[in-house]
Amino acid sequence: MATEKATFGAGCFWGVEEIFRQVPGVVDVAVGYEGGTLDNPSYRDVCTDRTGHAEVVEVDYDPERVSYDELLNIFWNNHNPTTLNRQGPDVGTQYRSVVFYHTPEQQATAATSKERLEREGRFKRPIVTQIVPASTFYRAEEYHQQYLAKHGLSHCHID
C-alpha cells in the first residue's frame, strides 16, 4: 500500500489528531510542529509564540481509501478557519489555521477547496487559512501523541 502525507494546523493538535485517527483510510497520525525557524523545537519553545511553528497533525493516508479532498473537508469542518492565530480559547501563531501541502496537486486542491468555501459564503468572515509548502515536520514529545486517548478523553472543546 502506497501512502501519502497531509499536514494540517487547526489549533490545539490533540483534538485534531483524534478526529483524523477516526477516518477510514488514515493509516497514522502524528502531532508535531511545522513552519517555524527553530530546529527541533520543544512544546515549551513553540508555546512562547516566538518560533513561528504551528501545532500540526501529519496524516499518513491511503489515497485509494480516502482522498486529499475528503481530508480537507474534515479539516474545514473541525475548526474555525476565520480566526487569525486563534482557536477557541487558544491564542497565538502556533494555533493558526494552515495547510502545509506536499505536492503541487495538494496545493491546487487546497486552494480550490478554500475558494469554493469562500464563494459559497459558508463562513460569515473571510477565511484566513494559510496554504504553504510543507517544511520540516518535528514530531512532538511522546506524551503529546494520542494525548486524548491516553487520558480517556474523546475531544477537546473548540468554539
What's the pLDDT at 5? 98
28-57 average pLDDT score: 96
* N-term to C-term CA, the chain: 37
61-65 average pLDDT score: 98
Q: Is 156 a catalytic residue?
A: no
- Of the residues 6, 10, 12, 98, only one is catalytic, namely 12
What percentage of the chain exceeds 70 in pLDDT?
94
2-9 average pLDDT score: 97
What percentage of the chain exceeds 90 in pLDDT?
80
pTM: 0.93
From the options 3.30.420.40, 3.90.76.10, 2.40.160.210, 3.30.1060.10, give the CATH code of 4-150.
3.30.1060.10
Which is nearest to 102 in space by CA: 72, 134, 73?
134
63-84 average pLDDT score: 97
Enumerate residues 6+ apart whose C-beta is below 8 A from 64.
1, 25
What's the pLDDT at 156? 66
Question: Any idea which residue has 525557524 for its cell?
Answer: 37
